[in-house]
Amino acid sequence: MSDLKIGIVGAAGRMGRMLVKQVSETAGCVISGGTEPAGSPFAGKDITALAGLDASGILIGEDPAALFETADAVIDFTAPEATIAHARLAAEKGKIHIIGTTGLTNEQQAQVTACGDRAVIVQGANMSLGVNLLAQLTRKVAHILDDEFDIEILEMHHHHKVDAPSGTALLLGKAAAAGRGVDHDQVADRGRDGITGARKRGDIGYAVLRGGNVVGDHTVIFAAENERIELTHKAGDRSIFARGAVRAALWARGKAPGNYDMMDVLGLGD
C-alpha cells in the first residue's frame, strides 16, 4: 500500500509545524502540502524547512481546495469557521478530515457533523492517548459515584489560548455527565463570579487558568464530605497531540464516510 498523503492546514503555526514534523517522521505517510490564509508571509515557503527539517520543495499554498484535491487526508488544528469550510471541502472531495480544532458552537458542530455523510471525519477535543484514557476513567468514576460527590474540572493553558473552557475540559465534563446519565448542558456551570449562592447539587463545575507557556493541564475532582478523588493529566509538549492526529489519519484510511472520534481510533469505546 502506498504512503498516505497528508496535508496540513495552518501549516506555519506552532501546531502546524509540529504536525509537519510528525508526519515526516512517521512510517506509512508523507507530507503532500499545506496551506496558510491568503496574504500570509509564509505562503510560498518550503513546508518542511519551516518545520526545521530538510527542504522538500513542497511550498505552502493559500488554496485549501487544491490541498484537499491532492491529499488523502488533511489535518486541521485551525479555527471554527475555517474548520467548517474545510469539512465541506472534505465532503465535496470524499477525503479524510482530522479535526483538532476546539471552540465550535453547537451550530458550528452540527455543520461539521453533517459533512460526515460524505467524508471520513475524525474529531477530537484532544488527540492524546493519555487524555482519552482520562476521559474513560472520568466516565467510569462518575458512573460509580453518586451526586454526593461534586464534580469540578480545573484546566490551565498558555496565555495565547483563545477559548475557555478548553475543548479538553469540556470533553472531560461530557464524559462525567455521560457516566451519570445526565445532560451535560443542563448541569454545566462554566463560570462563577460574585455572590453565586451555594453550589447546586449535581452540577459539573469548570475553573479556567491561563498563563505562561503551559501546554495543557487538566484535573477532574470528585469531592465529597471528608474525601476527594483527583484525576490529572499534564501535557508537556504538543507533540503528543500531533502524534495522535497522525495516528488518527492512518487509522481512518479505508474507513466508510462517517463521524469518528479518538475513542474509535484508540479502541477505547464501550
Active site residues: 157, 161
Cβ atoms < 10 Å from Cβ of 21 = 17
How far is the C-alpha of 42 from the C-alpha of 14, rounded, in Å?
13
Among candidate residues 162, 159, 100, the one with its CA nearest the CA of residue 128:
100
Among candidate residues 44, 45, 1, 48, the one with its CA nearest the CA of residue 24:
48
Return phi, psi of residue 38, to 5°: -55, 135
CB environment 180-216: b (16+ within 10 A), e (fewer)? bebeeeebbebeeeeeeeeeeeebbbbbbeeeeebeb
Residues 6+ positions from 41 with CB-CB distance below 8 Å: none
Among candidate residues 229, 66, 52, the one with its CA nearest the CA of residue 144:
229
How far is the C-alpha of 55 from the C-alpha of 45, rounded, in Å?
10
User: For residue 37, is the peptide bond before it cis, meaning its omega torsion is within 30 degrees of 0?
Assistant: no
DSSP H or E run through 152? strand 150-157
Residue indicated by cell numbers 504536525: 19
